[in-house]
Structure 1
Amino acid sequence: MITLNDYLYSGDTLLRILHNYSGDLRKDARKNKNEIDLAHCNFLLQITELLEHNDFLTAQSQKIREFYKYMAREYPFLAFTFKGRIKSLIRAEEKFNGYIVEYIYDYHMEHGTYPSVSEIKNRLTCFRDLIAYRIVISMPRCHLKSEQDREKVEEKYLYEIANALPAFLEERGFTVESARGIMESPSELLNDEVRPYYRDYVAGKTPQDYRSLHITLYDNSSRCFMEVQLRTKSMDDVAEIGPANHLGYEKGQDEARARRDAIPEGECIYFDEAYERGMRLQKLELSKLDVNMFAAVNNSLINDGCGLYRGRLILPYEHLSRFQNDLID
């Protein structure tokens, strides 16, 4: 079985790793008539094209910047950041294989059999966040009345911004995608006309206190999907450096091992291969990798300038709150 791990110690650049890995995987898939591995190759091709031919990202980020300028006019008292990234190769590979493992396990638990190849391939089409943008807002304490609750005020503005975002971007060439009922928002702060498009992890309960609003859009100019996440600073802290980060990783390992115990080895080759690829990635010793522009002392101290582990940044905008004497009503 061909895995990404086999290519990470060669000293090659990220793009060369992608070309070699996907090329060898495609040859092996054709030889063994493995349709899921062929779908895997097409997924890797999407990442490669984003990294090789990313001129369209300049035009895309300029459209996102228009919303940044809108927010600066409408909410001068808020501090906020806009960030964009292409998903890292390692995280994308983990997620792709994780989708396969999770779907086959759930299907087997419900039906007692295994899904067809076409059903697995259909599940893999839901990957929509290779490109993702994140808007993080914060209300400086100097703009708050002493009796006001900061979290409630920030959430009010977060939903207000979420209400404006879909129509704003649709006017600039994006199509908003339905959330298909996943984490449908119960919040009265979200307008009914935009409610079907958001996955609301703010009002809905999630493991490890993860909170964020997610919306998926299709860029009609570049013909690709992208995801936008909206968070307050405290929500972002929980997701990036709090329990939603570390504990989620540990919980994911435990769940993956439980699924392996439930699916006998050798009964479903697609489950076996996806599970093994995922487990090998979790056991990577990053300090021993030899990839252009990547260096790691250990699995915590990482300097990744190539998009291997942390993702490649494509949009850093920051707006500092304007100091105002008037308090917020």
Structure 2
Amino acid sequence: MKKLNDYLYSGDTVLRILKRYADDLKQSAKETHNQIDLVHCNFLLQIAELWQHNDFLTSQSQRIREFYKFMANEYPFLAFTFKGRIKSLIRAEAKFNGYIVEYIYKYYIEQGNYPSLPELKNCLNCFRDLIAYRIVISLPKCHLKEGESCEDEEIKYLYDVANQLLGFLEERGFTAELSSLTGQKKSPLLKESVSPYYRDYIANSESSGYRSLHITFYDNISRSYVEVQLRTKEMDDFAEIGPANHLGYEKRQESERARRDAIPKGENIYFDDAYERGIILHQLELSKVDVNMFSAVNNSLINDGCGLYRGRLILPYEHLSRFQNDLVD
């Protein structure tokens, strides 16, 4: 079985590593008649194509930047950041294998047998966040009126931004996808016309405490899907460096062990391969990895200049509130 881990110690560039892994995986898939590995190979090539096609990324980020300029004019009192990235190779690989494990496990628990090959292949046609943008807002306390809650006011502005975003981007070549979050509560702060397109993890917060608004667009110009996340600074801190990050990791470890215990080893090769790839990837000691433009002291102190672990940055913009420049006598 071919594994990404085996390619991370050559000192090569991440694109060369990706190509070698994809090429070897394709050859192995042909020899073993493993159609899921062929789908896996095509997924890896899709990531490589995103990394190399700078023209469409430039076009896309410029159109996203138009909304940044709109916000700077519409909400001059807010501080906010726009960030864009292509999903990192390690996280993309983990997610692909995680989807296989999760889908087969859920199917087995519900049906008592395993999904057919067409069903499994169809479940892997679901990646919409290989390119993602995040808008994070913050309201300076000096702008609050007496009796107002900073959290409540920030959430109001966040929903207002969400209401503006959909139509703005659709005028610039994007088409919003209907939300895949079923049975969700609807916030009265989201307009009825845009609500069906948002996955609202604020009104429908997860057990970890994670909160955010997510929306997926299809970029008709670049012919690619993009996900946009909207958060307040407090929500972003909670997700990136707070309990949501840590709890998510612990819950994932527990659920992975439960899935392996539920499905006997050797009964389903697709589950076995995906499970093993995912486990060894989670156990990777980044300080020992040798990839050009990447170095790490440990699994926390990481300097990633190539998109191996943190993702390739494609859009960094920051807007300071006009109040941050005020001088108090």
1:156 corresponds to which letter in structure 2?
A: K
Is 1:106 the counterpart of 2:110? The answer is no
DSSP-derived class of the 1:132 partner: strand
DSSP-derived class of the 1:208 partner: coil
Q: Deviations over 1:99-142 (max 9, x none)?
A: 00000000000000100111111111111100000000000001
Question: For 1:33-182, what aligned pairs fall within 5 Å after superposition?
Answer: 33-182=33-182
DSSP-derived class of the 1:209 partner: coil
* Structure 2 CA distance for partners of 1:324 and 1:278, relative to 1, 3 Å: closer
- The aligned residue for residue 283 of structure 2 is 283
DSSP-derived class of the 1:271 partner: helix
- The aligned residue for residue 297 of structure 2 is 297
- The aligned residue for residue 318 of structure 2 is 318
Distance in 1, matches of 2:319 and 2:183, equals: 30
DSSP-derived class of the 1:295 partner: strand
- The aligned residue for residue 201 of structure 2 is 201
DSSP-derived class of the 2:323 partner: coil
Shift of 1:182: 3.5
Moved more, 222-231 or 183-192: 183-192
1:64 corresponds to which letter in structure 2?
A: I
Distance in 2, matches of 1:158 and 1:34, equals: 46
1:181–1:196 contact (8 Å) kept in structure 2: no
Distance in 1, matches of 2:146 and 2:88, equals: 42
1:295–1:302 contact (8 Å) kept in structure 2: yes
Distance in 2, matches of 1:79 and 1:183, equals: 33
DSSP-derived class of the 1:114 partner: coil
2:202–2:213 contact (8 Å) kept in structure 1: yes
1:133–1:229 contact (8 Å) kept in structure 2: yes
- The aligned residue for residue 3 of structure 1 is 3
Q: Deviations over 1:175-231 (max 9, x none)?
A: 111113446342110111111111011110302110000000001111000000000
Distance in 2, matches of 1:22 and 1:324, equals: 48
Distance in 2, matches of 1:126 and 1:27, equals: 24
Distance in 2, matches of 1:18 and 1:31, equals: 20
Is 1:27 the counterpart of 2:57? The answer is no
Name the count of aligned residue pairs. Answer: 325
DSSP-derived class of the 1:236 partner: helix
Distance in 1, matches of 2:152 and 2:183, equals: 21
Distance in 2, matches of 1:77 and 1:294, equals: 38
DSSP-derived class of the 2:121 partner: helix
- The aligned residue for residue 187 of structure 2 is 187
User: TM-score normalized by structure 2?
Assistant: 0.97
2:177–2:197 contact (8 Å) kept in structure 1: yes
1:184–1:196 contact (8 Å) kept in structure 2: no
Q: Deviations over 1:285-324 (max 9, x none)?
A: 1000000011100111110111000011100001100129
Q: Deviations over 1:224-283 (max 9, x none)?
A: 000000000000000000011122112101111110000000111100000000000011
DSSP-derived class of the 2:179 partner: coil
Q: Deviations over 1:153-180 (max 9, x none)?
A: 0000101111111111010001111113
Over the residues paired in the alignment, what is the CA RMSD in angstroms?
1.2
Distance in 2, matches of 1:217 and 1:300, equals: 32
Structure 2, unpaired ranges of 5+? none
DSSP-derived class of the 2:265 partner: coil
2:285 corresponds to which letter in structure 1?
A: E
Distance in 2, matches of 1:98 and 1:15, equals: 22
2:140–2:323 contact (8 Å) kept in structure 1: no
Distance in 2, matches of 1:291 and 1:227, equals: 28
